[in-house]
Structure 1
Amino acid sequence: MPSITIRNVPSEVHRAIRVRAAMHGCSTEAEIRSILEQAAKPEGRLKLGSLLTSIAREAGGLTDSEAEGFNQLRDKTPAEPMGFE
């Protein structure tokens, strides 16, 4: 799993995160991971595929069964990172 180093965090911010972690009963590191995950993947975000499906439904060109068929065909494997060699 990748690691991130964050330098020059103000003392007040570090203290606030430590307090927040203690209130949630976890380590400072776990609290920071939680904050980053919530910021990067907010609940209720609309994914591009869902948006396109809803547009097609509104236009009358896609039935619910067709939409479900597309969802089953979708490749859910993660993409391989690019190599620059």
Structure 2
Amino acid sequence: MASLTIRNLDDALKTKLRLQAAEHGWSMEQEAREILRRAVSAPSTELGFADKIRQRFAGLEGELEIPARQTVRQISLED
């Protein structure tokens, strides 16, 4: 198994981790493993860009009217 060292951990965060581990009846190291395991195995609830667009326009029906193309204005460089 691999090892992981976490440096510069805030004292308040370390205290919370220690208390949470004590509530579960295991070490801080085990608590950290459990937190990491849950974090990486939880399904992502964040929508991707296409999903956000689909959600935004859900319920709209029909087709968009595409305007006719117009010719590009010609600019004379001789003036």
TM-score by length of 2: 0.53
> Sequence identity of aligned pairs in percent?
41
Cα separation, 2, equivalents of 1:38 and 1:4: 17
Cα separation, 1, equivalents of 2:37 and 2:22: 18
Q: Could you give the per-residue CA deviations for residues 23-76 of structure 1, whole angstroms, max 9, x where no partner exists?
A: 01110000000000011111xx27xxxxxxxxxxxxxxxxxxxxxxxxxxxxxx
Instruction: State the one-letter code of the partner of 1:10.
Output: D
Select the structure that is richer in helix.
1
Question: What's the counterpart of residue 33 of structure 2?
Answer: 33
Instruction: State the one-letter code of the partner of 1:9.
Output: L
Work out which of the two has the higher radius of gyration on C-alpha atoms and give 1 or 2.
2
RMSD: 1.2
Question: What's the counterpart of residue 16 of structure 2?
Answer: 16
Instruction: State the one-letter code of the partner of 1:16.
Output: K
